[in-house]
Structure 1
Amino acid sequence: MFETASDTFAYVAQVAWRRRFLAIIPILLLPPLALVAAAIAPARYEARMTLLVQEPSKLNPILNDIAVNPNLKERMSALIALAHSEVVLGKVLEDLHRVTPETPPKQRDDLVKALSEAVTIQLVGSDIIEMRVRSMDPNSPAQTLQALSRRFVERLVSPERTAVQDSERFLKDQMSERRRALDGAEKALLDFRTANADKLPALYNSTVQRLATLEQQLQSKEMDLSIAGATMEELRKRLASTNPLIGRIEENIVQASAELASLRARYTDEHSLVQAAEWRLQRLEEERRHLLNDSHAISTTDLDRLWNIAAGVGTAPAGDQRGNDSDRNATPLLVSQLQRLQEQQSKRTAIESEVDQLRKVIAVLQRDIAEFGPIDQQQQQLERQVSFARDNYESLAKRYEMARVTGALGVFEAPERVKVLETPSDPASKVTPGYALYVLAGIISGFAVGGALAAASELLDTRLRRPADFARILGVPVIARVPRISPQEAQPRPYAA
């Protein structure tokens, strides 16, 4: 609009001179009005209070791991909003006895709103809270600020205390439930071990070793049984070869041989007596051979018969002297063989009983070893349940003890957590601006209003005052400019003669 700054300054000076009266009037009027406003304005008072909220790590670094961090920076916005709400300010008004339960809700809401507008809370730095309350009464801000600080600190600390208390109750309930589960799992494991006391996996190695030992004993007993059986069969065969009939035939053979030798000494071989003796000897030898070839295993009946024969020989009648003599020679041999056979049979029966018992025990152990797998699997499952229940219970117990210690630490540190750095002054200090400030504001406002009026008047004036305005409106450049002509200069001049 202007080509140079000097043109702009010259134009502003022209406007100020043309509108000098319109600009001076606000400058002259507003300062006195400001003095009047300062005189009639109501006085306002403000109370200020600062609180120091220390973090547990700074208060007690040693117990930092169990302390609850207040997180003041993150919670400050929510705490300020809560402090301006009816929840806190309503309690403050009740503490100050400004409202009662009979107070109408509308009046209560108005008082809460007015108090919320008068309260200012801000965080200074990282752990200092500044609280301000303004009022028309110099005595009320201090009381209001004291009540507000108590409610604010209560809200500041209560989440930590409530969280710790809720944690203790929750952990205690969970511990009771986990304790019941642990007792049930331990009882199930105990009942299982009691029911399978002889089949537990802990006895597996000893059971296997016992089975191996018993199998070795069984093999040894079976060998002893086979030896006893062979010995008994041998005794039976020997007893069969010592048949009393064969013994008597041999005695007759001896007698026949003696008679034959005596006859040969007296007679020739062709003698009838010699031939009769030879025939009798041959017949006895054939009979003996036949009995030896037809000998068989002696049965129980044969043994009983032999025992009767052995017992009857000693009690034969005295008239048969010859029979007694021959039986006395056979009886000791028969009785001793029968005794040995009876002893061997008893030994074999005892070994057979031991073998049967060992086989039964081995069968039971083999069945127990076969059942070790499912029992071991079931026991491991029960042990896992007990271990899981015990781990849960111990973990909850540790957390519960930690929560109790944390709660006790919070109670112990409560007096030191929040400290009052600056108490509110009573009466409160006046914050209403002084007369000089009002006058200065009036002067500044006068200049601002005067300048605004002058500028508005100049902008609303449609008269053309500069050549540039003519050129802008008419669209043609200014060729010549006619200066202002005074009335004296406008009168015609007389021509000289």
Structure 2
Amino acid sequence: MDSEVRKSPGFESVLAIWSRRKWLAIAVLIIPLVAVVSGILFLPNIYRSTATVLIEGQQLPEAFVRSTVTSAVDTRLQAITQEILSRSRLDALITQFGLYKDLRKRISLEEVIERMRRDIQLELKGVKPMEKDRATIAFSLSFRGSDPTTVAQVTNTLASYYIEENLKVRERQAAGTAEFLKVQLDETKTRLDGQERLVSAFKRQNMGELPQQLDANLSTLARLNMQLRVNSDNLPLAQQRRQDILTQLAEREAGVPSDTPGVAADPLSRARHELMMARARYTEAHPTVIRLKAELEELERQQAETAKKGEQEEGDTATFMNPAAQRLKQALREVDGEIAALKAEAGRLRKDLGAYQSRVENTPRREQEFQAMARDYQTTKETYESLLKRYEEAKLAESMEQRQKGELFRVLDPATPSERPVAPDRLRLILMGLVLSVGLAVGVVMAVEQLDTSFHTVDDLRGFTTVPVLVSIPPLITAADLAQRQWRTKVVALSVAAGIIGIVALSYLVAKGNEQLAWMLVKGGA
């Protein structure tokens, strides 16, 4: 026997509750509904424009020109995005297009810039390749705002920023690569020149002991040995001739007759014998053969002159003996000169043999030193040639980027002013507000009914107690009561009207120009 007994859920009970609480329900329904509807109506229209940028691959075949910009597209896009979304860039855009005028009055510039960063959206998407071997992708760039024309202009400006910044980034990277290679090339060239000077100095300091001169040194060593053997053979012969001349000269001075043909002919015979022996050992072009032939001719000439003088005058023996002695002395001087020359030649040959023998012995050690130096030089030279090739390729790639023949960003679909706002969805929001207002009104009425402990019908009273109800007295409304009710109704009506006006004004203040609230209330809004 509680309130559930006296308040049946029937249709009549609902009508009775409506009759008692209709003004409360209407007030609770209208107030939030007016707030929702007015706020939704005052929310600004949000427009979004999108530009599609196509990423075209390198225009020249990579087999001819290899780009030095090897970073991935998404990585480069992230770097470009950070550059474009920098404070200075966005501040310039805000000033140029007069963005967020109302918002700048309420919050700081840093917060406005952060808001604009949220209003800019970048989305990568795949695009079917235009050519079989050239993969291309694209990305869409979006911006949202309250003015459709301005939004489209800002979006196209951002797209142009991406295109320009991509060119700058690629040119900067290509130029940086070329500059780096140039520095490395100069350093390597300096090191290579230094090593070339070291190699040249090593060759000058060790001339004759270099590995490539070993064959020549061995050949010279063999030739010097042969010359020394010839010298060793000629020296005893010359010494024997000297002894023979001394013997003849002694005989002349002792008074041996000069008309003995054997004595006069003895040097000539000996010269002929020596020439015959030399020809048996050497060729006609050998120096020994040539010298002996010259001596033989001189002796024959002297003998002829002596014979001619003997026919003209038969003077005393002393007169005949002097020319012969003089010739023997002249021959002695010549033989002494020959012996001295042979000895000097032997000394020179032995000295040269020692020098060349030292060269041959030092060649292995010089070869090790030269190989180490040449190995370093060859390594540096190969590094220099590799850097030179890469530098030339980098300069070619830099020229390609400057002529805009590398990877390019091209606007595929420019942004256009949107005809319909993307936010807020007013119809959906109003329906949601209506449902919430109705639910709130029903809830408030049910709560008030639950808290109400008064009896509104005889049945309610009978259901509560066993005491019999004798009579039901209806309310007695006097003129004063009626006047008071009318006055109260007017006050309530005015209060409700004032409340509605206040709610509308508050909604205007909150919702007018509040783009962020518009996006928060729309599905998919940020």
TM-score by length of 1: 0.58
Shift of 1:214: 0.9
Contact 1:88 1:151 in 2 (8 A): no
Q: Does 1:73 align with 2:68?
A: no
Contact 1:46 1:134 in 2 (8 A): yes
Matches within 5 A, 1:96-495: 96=97, 107-125=108-126, 127-230=137-240, 244=254, 347-373=338-364, 375-413=366-404, 417-426=408-417, 429-433=420-424, 435-442=426-433, 445=436, 453=443
Q: Secondary structure at the match of 1:409?
A: helix
Q: What residue is the counterpart of 2:481 in the other structure?
A: none
The structure-2 alpha-carbon separation of the partners of 1:157 and 1:441, relative to structure 1 and needing over 3 Å to count, comes to farther
Q: 1:1-35 CA distances to partner (integer Å, 9 max, x unpaired)?
A: xxxxxxxxxxxxx899999989x969976777655
Q: What residue is the counterpart of 2:48 in the other structure?
A: 46
Contact 1:214 1:358 in 2 (8 A): yes
The structure-2 alpha-carbon separation of the partners of 1:79 and 1:392, relative to structure 1 and needing over 3 Å to count, comes to same
Q: 1:303-330 CA distances to partner (integer Å, 9 max, x unpaired)?
A: xxxxxxxxxxxxxxxxxx9xx89x9999
Q: Structure 1 stretch 118-127 or stretch 398-407: which is displaced more?
A: 118-127
Matches within 5 A, 1:49-60: 49-56=51-58, 60=61
Shift of 1:112: 1.4
Matches within 5 A, 1:12-31: none
Q: Secondary structure at the match of 2:151?
A: helix
RMSD, aligned CA: 5.4
**Distance across 2 between alignment mates of 1:116 and 1:332:** 128
The structure-2 alpha-carbon separation of the partners of 1:140 and 1:397, relative to structure 1 and needing over 3 Å to count, comes to same
Shift of 1:377: 4.5
Q: Secondary structure at the match of 2:117?
A: helix
**Distance across 1 between alignment mates of 2:38 and 2:331:** 153
Question: What one-letter code is carried by the residue in structure 2 that aligns with 1:151?
Answer: Y
Contact 2:65 2:393 in 1 (8 A): no
Shift of 1:174: 3.0
**Distance across 2 between alignment mates of 1:61 and 1:17:** 87
**Distance across 2 between alignment mates of 1:98 and 1:435:** 24
Contact 1:55 1:70 in 2 (8 A): no
Shift of 1:206: 1.0
The structure-2 alpha-carbon separation of the partners of 1:179 and 1:330, relative to structure 1 and needing over 3 Å to count, comes to closer
**Distance across 2 between alignment mates of 1:448 and 1:404:** 74
**Distance across 1 between alignment mates of 2:155 and 2:77:** 18
**Distance across 2 between alignment mates of 1:42 and 1:335:** 143
User: Structure 2: any 5+ residue segments left out of the alignment?
Assistant: 1-8, 128-136, 258-314, 452-461, 469-526
Shift of 1:367: 3.6
Shift of 1:145: 1.7
Question: What one-letter code is carried by the residue in structure 2 that aligns with 1:114?
Answer: R
The structure-2 alpha-carbon separation of the partners of 1:246 and 1:17, relative to structure 1 and needing over 3 Å to count, comes to farther
**Distance across 1 between alignment mates of 2:169 and 2:49:** 28
Structure with the greater alpha carbon radius of gyration: 1
**Distance across 1 between alignment mates of 2:142 and 2:10:** 48
User: Structure 1: any 5+ residue segments left out of the alignment?
Assistant: 1-13, 248-320, 462-485, 493-497
Question: What one-letter code is carried by the residue in structure 2 that aligns with 1:395?
Answer: S
**Distance across 2 between alignment mates of 1:163 and 1:48:** 29
**Distance across 1 between alignment mates of 2:210 and 2:341:** 34
Question: What one-letter code is carried by the residue in structure 1 that aligns with 2:197?
Answer: K
* Aligned length, in residue pairs: 379
TM-score by length of 2: 0.55
Q: 1:340-383 CA distances to partner (integer Å, 9 max, x unpaired)?
A: 87765554444333323322322332344344455445544543
The structure-2 alpha-carbon separation of the partners of 1:369 and 1:16, relative to structure 1 and needing over 3 Å to count, comes to farther
The structure-2 alpha-carbon separation of the partners of 1:79 and 1:448, relative to structure 1 and needing over 3 Å to count, comes to farther
